[in-house]
Structure 1
Amino acid sequence: MKPQAQTRDCYRHFLPITTRWMDNDVYGHVNNVVYYSYFDTVVNRYLIERGVLDIEAGDTIGLVIETQCNYFASLSFPETVVAGLRVARLGNSSVRYEVGLFREGDDSAAAQGHFVHVYVDRQTRRPVALPEPLRKALEPLLVVAADR
C-alpha cells in the first residue's frame, strides 16, 4: 500500500526548524539525509526541554535501531520546516517516534517517517526499562493507530 501524506492534526507537538543554505543539494532541495537530522532535532529537543535527556552525563541513552522516511514534496532553503512529533509505541525499553515535516503553513506533510530508540545504560549499552520521568514526558505524545 502506497503511503499517504498525513496532516498536522495527526501530531501532538511541533517545532519550527529553519533550513540552512548547506541543507540544499545540487538539485536545489533539502538533501534526503538532512530529513533525518530534522527528525533527531525535534525528538532530542523535546526530551532535553523536558529534562529527561542529559546528553553529556545521563545514565540512560537512546540508540536508534530503525529508521524510515517517505517523501511527498521537496523542501528547500530558505523555507522554515515545521516538524510534527508523536509517539506510536511506548515499550518497556523502546520508543517508536513518528515525525511529519511540513512546509510552514501547509497542512499535508512534505515527508514523514519514524525511528525507534532502544534505551540503554550509557556504560554497558544493555537495554534498560524506560525511566519513569521519560515515560511520563512521552505519554502526551502517544497516539493509537486510529489517531494516525
Structure 2
Amino acid sequence: MSSTPPAGSRPQPWPRSHYRAWRPIGTRWMDNDLYGHVNNVVYYSWFDTAVNGYLIEAGALDIHAGEVIGLVVETQCHYFASLAFPQPVEAGLRVAHIGRSSVRYEVGIFAAGAAETAARGHFVHVYVDRASRRPVAALPTALARTLGALQ
C-alpha cells in the first residue's frame, strides 16, 4: 500500500494489515473536548507515545542517557471517525522510510478491534547527537535494526 495518495484523491482509512506493530492506548477524561470526542491534538500525542514507547521497550532508544535523540520535524494526521473517553484505542505502527538520519513513521489510530483507522498520519524524526543537536552520520545499529523490523 502506497503512503502517498494519488493527486486530488481524498485520504482514506487504512486497514490493520498496513501496520507491523501494535500498542494499546487508554483514553483519559481530559482527552475529550467540548464536542464530546477526543481532541485533535491528542492524536499527535498518541503518535509520539506509540513510537517512542515501542523504541524504548525494544532497547533501541535511551531517552535519558542515549547519545542520539529524535526530533520531530514533520507531522500530519487525517481523521475518519470520532473516538471518545472511555473508549480504548490501539496504535498501529510502521516505518515508511529510513534515511541516513531520518525516519518516517506511519501511525494508525484504531478503536479497539476496529478493522480500519479512525485516524492515520505520519511524523518524521531526525536523529541528532544529544549534545550538538546536529544530525547523526548514521542511525545507531540497534535503532536501525528495530526500525527495519517495522518496514
TM-score by length of 1: 0.95
Pairwise CA RMSD = 0.5
Describe how 1:30-109 pairs up with structure 2 within 5 A: 30-109=38-117
1:20 is the counterpart of 2:28: yes
Summarize deviations over 1:60-105 as a string: whole Å, max 9, x none.
0000000000000011000111000000001110000000000011
In the alignment, the residues of structure 2 paired with residue 28 and residue 51 of structure 1 have an alpha-carbon distance, to the nearest angstrom, of: 37
1:131 is the counterpart of 2:140: yes
**Cα deviation, residue 123, structure 1:** 0.5
Task: Name the structure 2 match of 1:122.
Answer: 130
**Cα deviation, residue 52, structure 1:** 1.3
In the alignment, the residues of structure 2 paired with residue 111 and residue 71 of structure 1 have an alpha-carbon distance, to the nearest angstrom, of: 4
In the alignment, the residues of structure 2 paired with residue 82 and residue 52 of structure 1 have an alpha-carbon distance, to the nearest angstrom, of: 22
Q: Percent identity?
A: 67
**Cα deviation, residue 135, structure 1:** 0.4
Unpaired runs of at least 5, structure 1: 143-148
In the alignment, the residues of structure 2 paired with residue 3 and residue 130 of structure 1 have an alpha-carbon distance, to the nearest angstrom, of: 31
Task: Name the structure 1 match of 2:5.
Answer: none
In the alignment, the residues of structure 1 paired with residue 98 and residue 106 of structure 2 have an alpha-carbon distance, to the nearest angstrom, of: 12
Unpaired runs of at least 5, structure 2: 1-8
Structure 1's consecutive aligned runs of 4 or more residues displaced over 4 angstroms after TM superposition are none
In the alignment, the residues of structure 2 paired with residue 109 and residue 44 of structure 1 have an alpha-carbon distance, to the nearest angstrom, of: 20
Instruction: Count how many residue pairs are aligned between Structure 1 and Structure 2.
Output: 142
**Cα deviation, residue 3, structure 1:** 0.6
TM-score by length of 2: 0.93
